Chains A and B, each alone.
Chain A
Amino acid sequence: MPKKVYLAITAMIFGASLYGETITICPSCEITSIKKGVELASENDTLLIKKGTYKEFNIVIDKPLTLLGEDFPIIDGEDQGEIITIISDGVTVDGLFIINVGTSYTSDYAAIRVVKSENFLIQNVVLEKLFFGIYLEKSNNGKIYHNKIIGDAVDEYNSGNGIQLWYSKNIVVENNIVQHVRDGIYLEFSDNITIHNNTSSNNLRYGLHFMFSNDDIYTDNTFENNGAGVAVMFSKKIKMQGNTFKKNWGTASFGVLLKEINDAEISNNTFEENTIGINIEGSNRIVYKNNDFINNGWAIKVRGACYTNSFVNNNFLYNSFDISYNSKLNDNVFENNYWSSYTGYDLDKDGIGDVPYRPVKLFSYIVNRTPETIVLLRSLFMDIIDFSEKVSPVFTPDNLVDASPMMKKVGS
Chain B
Amino acid sequence: MLKILKYSFYDLIRSRWSYVYFLFYLALGFVLLFLNNDLSKAVITLMNVIIVLVPLIGTIFGVMYFYNSKEFTELLLAQPLKRSSIFLGQYFGVAGSLTLSLVLGLGIPFVLYGLFRSEAIWDFTLLLVTGAFLTFIFTALAFNIALSNENKIKGFGYAVLLWLFLAVIYDGLFLLSLIVFEEYPLDSFSLAATMFNPIDLSRTLILLKLDISALLGYTGAIFKQFFGTNLGLMVSVGVLLLWTLLPIWRLSFKSKRKDF
Partner of A374, one of B167, B194, B215: B215
Q: Are B218 and A251 in contact (CB under 8 A)?
A: yes
Which residues of the partner chain A approach B190 to less than 8 Å between Cβ atoms? 372, 375
Q: Within A368-387, which residues are at the interface with B (CB < 8 Å)?
A: 369-382, 384
Give B2-39 as 1s and 0s: 1 = Cβ < 8 Å from A's Cβ atoms: 00000000000000000000000000000000000000
A382 to B219, CA, bound (A): 18
Give A206-250 as 1s and 0s: 1 = Cβ < 8 Å from B's Cβ atoms: 000000000000000000000000000000000000000000011
Q: Within B201-257, which residues are at the interface with A (CB < 8 Å)?
A: 203-204, 207, 211-212, 214-221, 223
Q: Are B171 and A379 in contact (CB under 8 A)?
A: yes
Which residues of the partner chain B approach A318 to less than 8 Å between Cβ atoms? 41
Residue of A250, A297, A320, A372 ringed by the most chain B CB atoms within 10 A: A372
Q: Are B171 and A376 in contact (CB under 8 A)?
A: yes
Which residues of the partner chain A approach B186 to less than 8 Å between Cβ atoms? 372
Which residues of the partner chain A approach B175 to less than 8 Å between Cβ atoms? 366, 373, 376, 381-382
Q: Are B218 and A378 in contact (CB under 8 A)?
A: no
> Cβ of B174 < 8 Å from any Cβ of A?
yes
> Cβ of B200 < 8 Å from any Cβ of A?
yes
> Cβ of B77 < 8 Å from any Cβ of A?
no
Nearest CB to that of B41 among chain A residues? A318
> Cβ of A201 < 8 Å from any Cβ of B?
no
> Cβ of B172 < 8 Å from any Cβ of A?
yes
Q: Within B173-203, which residues are at the interface with A (CB < 8 Å)?
A: 174-175, 178-179, 182, 186-187, 190, 194, 200, 203
Q: Are B182 and A251 in contact (CB under 8 A)?
A: no
Q: Are A372 and B182 in contact (CB under 8 A)?
A: yes
Q: Are B204 and A375 in contact (CB under 8 A)?
A: yes
Q: Are B216 and A374 in contact (CB under 8 A)?
A: yes
Which residues of the partner chain A approach B172 to less than 8 Å between Cβ atoms? 381
Nearest CB to that of B189 among chain A residues? A372
Nearest CB to that of A248 among chain B residues? B214
Which residues of the partner chain A approach B187 to less than 8 Å between Cβ atoms? 372
Q: Are B179 and A370 in contact (CB under 8 A)?
A: yes
Given contacts A320-B212, A373-B175, contact A384 B168 (CB under 8 A): yes
Nearest CB to that of A321 among chain B residues? B215
Nearest CB to that of B167 among chain A residues? A380
Which residues of the partner chain A approach B211 to less than 8 Å between Cβ atoms? 249
A318 to B190, CA, bound (A): 27
Chain B residues with a Cβ closer than 8 Å to the other chain, count:
34
Q: Are A370 and B182 in contact (CB under 8 A)?
A: yes
Q: Are B217 and A374 in contact (CB under 8 A)?
A: yes
Chain A residues with a Cβ closer than 8 Å to the other chain, count:
25
Give A119-146 as 1s and 0s: 1 = Cβ < 8 Å from B's Cβ atoms: 0000000000000000000000000000
Which residues of the partner chain B approach A370 to less than 8 Å between Cβ atoms? 178-179, 182
Which residues of the partner chain A approach B178 to less than 8 Å between Cβ atoms? 370, 372-373
A190 to B221, CA, bound (A): 38
Which residues of the partner chain A approach B167 to less than 8 Å between Cβ atoms? 380-381
Q: Within B33-73, which residues are at the interface with A (CB < 8 Å)?
A: 41, 47-48, 51-52
Q: Are B214 and A250 in contact (CB under 8 A)?
A: yes
State how many angstroms separate the Cβ of A273 from the closest Cβ of chain B: 8
> Cβ of A252 < 8 Å from any Cβ of B?
yes
> Cβ of A253 < 8 Å from any Cβ of B?
yes
Given contacts A249-B214, A372-B182, contact A380 B171 (CB under 8 A): yes
A370 to B200, CA, bound (A): 18
Q: Are A380 and B194 in contact (CB under 8 A)?
A: no
Q: Are B200 and A251 in contact (CB under 8 A)?
A: no
Which residues of the partner chain B approach A373 to less than 8 Å between Cβ atoms? 175, 178-179
Partner of B220, one of A366, A374, A379, A382: A374
Given contacts A366-B179, A369-B182, contact A378 B171 (CB under 8 A): no
A232 to B255, CA, bound (A): 68
State how many angstroms separate the Cβ of B182 from the closest Cβ of chain A: 4
> Cβ of A168 < 8 Å from any Cβ of B?
no
Which residues of the partner chain A approach B218 to less than 8 Å between Cβ atoms? 251-252, 371
Q: Within B61-110, which residues are at the interface with A (CB < 8 Å)?
A: none
Which residues of the partner chain A approach B203 to less than 8 Å between Cβ atoms? 378-379
A250 to B212, CA, bound (A): 10
Q: Are A253 and B207 in contact (CB under 8 A)?
A: no
A366 to B207, CA, bound (A): 19
> Cβ of A275 < 8 Å from any Cβ of B?
yes
The contact sample of 17 A-B pairs, CB cut-off 8 A, is: A249-B214, A251-B214, A251-B220, A252-B217, A297-B214, A372-B182, A374-B220, A375-B204, A375-B223, A376-B175, A377-B215, A379-B203, A380-B52, A380-B168, A381-B169, A381-B172, A382-B171
Interface contacts beyond A366-B175, A381-B171: sample of 20 additional A-B pairs, CB < 8 Å, sorted by A: A250-B214, A251-B214, A251-B220, A275-B214, A318-B41, A371-B218, A372-B190, A372-B219, A373-B178, A374-B217, A374-B219, A375-B194, A375-B204, A375-B219, A377-B215, A377-B216, A379-B171, A379-B200, A380-B167, A380-B171
What 4 A-B pairs come out closest when comparing CB atoms? A381-B171, A297-B215, A371-B219, A370-B182
Residues of A within 8 A of B (CB): 249-253, 275, 297, 318, 320, 366, 369-382, 384
Residues of B within 8 A of A (CB): 41, 47-48, 51-52, 167-169, 171-172, 174-175, 178-179, 182, 186-187, 190, 194, 200, 203-204, 207, 211-212, 214-221, 223
